[in-house]
Amino acid sequence: MRLRFTKMHGLGNDFVVIDAVRQSVDLTPERVRRLADRHFGIGCDQLLVVEEATRPDVDFRYRIFNADGGEVEQCGNGARCFVRFVHEQGLTAKREIRVETRSGIIAPRLEDDGLVTVDMGVPVLEAARVPFVSDSDAVVQPLQVGDASVAITAVSMGNPHAVQVVADVDAAPVAAQGALIERHPRFPARVNAGFVQLVDAHRIRLRVFERGAGETLACGTGACAAVVTVILRELAQSPVRVETRGGELDIAWGGPGQPVLMTGPAVTVFAGEIDID
> Which residues are part of a known binding site for substrate?
13, 46, 66, 76-77, 159, 192, 210-211, 220-221
Specify whether 44 is catalytic. Answer: no
Quote the CA–CA distance of 122 and 118 in Å, as a whole number.
Answer: 12
Per DSSP, 183 falls in state: T
Binding site membership: which residues?
Answer: 13, 46, 66, 76-77, 159, 192, 210-211, 220-221
Quote the CA–CA distance of 262 and 250 in Å, as a whole number.
Answer: 6
Instruction: Tell me the β-bridge partners of 240.
Output: 251
* Active-site option among 44, 81, 219, 224: 219
**Vertex 19 angle, CA 27 and 87, to 5°:** 155
| Active site (catalytic) residues | 75, 219
